[in-house]
Amino acid sequence: MSENDQALPLDSWHRSRGGRMVPFAGYAMPVQYEGIIAEHKWTRESAGLFDVSHMGQLIIGGAEAEKGLESLLPADLTLLKDGRLRYSLLLNDEGGIIDDLMVTRRGNHFYMVVNGATKAGDIEHLEARLPRGAVLDHMKDQALLALQGPKAAAALSRLAPGVEQLAFMTGGAFEIGGAKAWISRSGYTGEDGYEISILARDAEMVATLLTDQDEVKPIGLGARDSLRLEAGLPLYGHDLDQHTTPVEADLAFALSKRRRAEGGFPGWHRIARELEEGAIRKRVGLSVEGRQPVREGALVLDGDGNEVGKVTSGGFSPCLEAPIAMAYVPWDAAAPGTAITLESRGKLFTGTVTPMPFVPHRYQRKGGAA
């Protein structure tokens, strides 16, 4: 671990619970406690607590906040009701994805959560392009926790009564152990669950209260990655980057109906053309024959052995007990059931294009415990 890695508010808390720390996005973070497969299965069956305090938490307020954000994101913020979240994309002028993010309307401002590895660049980009009537505040004194799994609502509602009434992609203000918290019903595992924004000084108290619940164990980065892969969710810097458009990334759902028609966001002309005609390539899910996982960087080959794409995420699915992957393949080879040849370290593998998610999502579309 590099001496340049920053410590998160829960650093000593993780270490005292056996967390094995590794560098990630410039921070020291726990990759595992008991073991990745055990933690993965615990989250799918009960509730796992993830420290995601490396993420960037931003407030965008002011008279021109909505107008300014709509000039940079393809979201219809005029339809976004108070307390509602949207998954959206920060785009460059060529339609490439600078970052994927969550944006929430909270009264007179917007609350945005961006990726940890990209937050400095995101903030610089936003500050350079937002109008003068929009003000950005980086909430450096906040920590962020994610409680994920089918028993998350039961565990959290004991500490913050009323959270069980939140529906998927809605949020509200609560208290946990006397500490103020913004809690949304959302997450990155495909399971029901919550993301909890609190002051950094309250993080240890809140994390301890949560893991004191019988259903809850701390979970590391390793299981977070395998869970999101099973859920078919992309990871920025691996499955998404500034050279990838939303259409190529199979994220067209993040382009709202009005914005598709009206445009007015970066890269719209290219994106509109791809929506109509298709793109050169597309992100797809792959089931891989055999037992050996095919990792990021493996090549997608055509019938003549030429490289036509790459695997961007891959691993062994603990729930399916089989290797799975995400890859970019030619647009005409992206239909489910298409056989794909892969090459990794000189060895050939056969993959089949498979609909994502690999493991069904279990979000609670209406309020209430599972």
Is 292 in contact with 309 (CB distance < 8 Å)? Answer: no
6-53+141-230 and 280-354 in the same fold: no
Q: What is the residue extent of each domain of the chain?
A: 6-53+141-230, 280-354
CB atoms near residue 256 (< 10 Å)? 21
| Fold assignment, 6-53+141-230 | Gyrase A; domain 2 (3.30.1360)
Averaged pLDDT in 10-residue chunks for the chain of 370 residues: 80 98 96 98 98 98 98 98 98 98 98 97 98 98 98 98 98 98 98 98 98 98 98 98 98 97 97 98 98 97 95 98 98 97 96 98 79
**Is 3.30.300.180 the CATH classification of the domain at 280-354?**
no
Q: How far apart are CA 32 and CA 221, in angstroms?
A: 7
328-333 long-range Cβ contacts below 8 angstroms, 24+ apart: 328/248, 328/281, 328/282, 328/283, 328/284, 328/300, 329/281, 329/282, 329/284, 329/300, 329/353, 330/280, 330/281, 330/282, 330/302, 331/278, 331/279, 331/280, 331/281, 331/282, 333/308
HSE of 118 in the Cβ direction (CA atoms, 13 Å)? 21
What local confidence, expressed as pLDDT, does residue 368 receive?
64
- Token pair 């109906």 is at which residue? 257
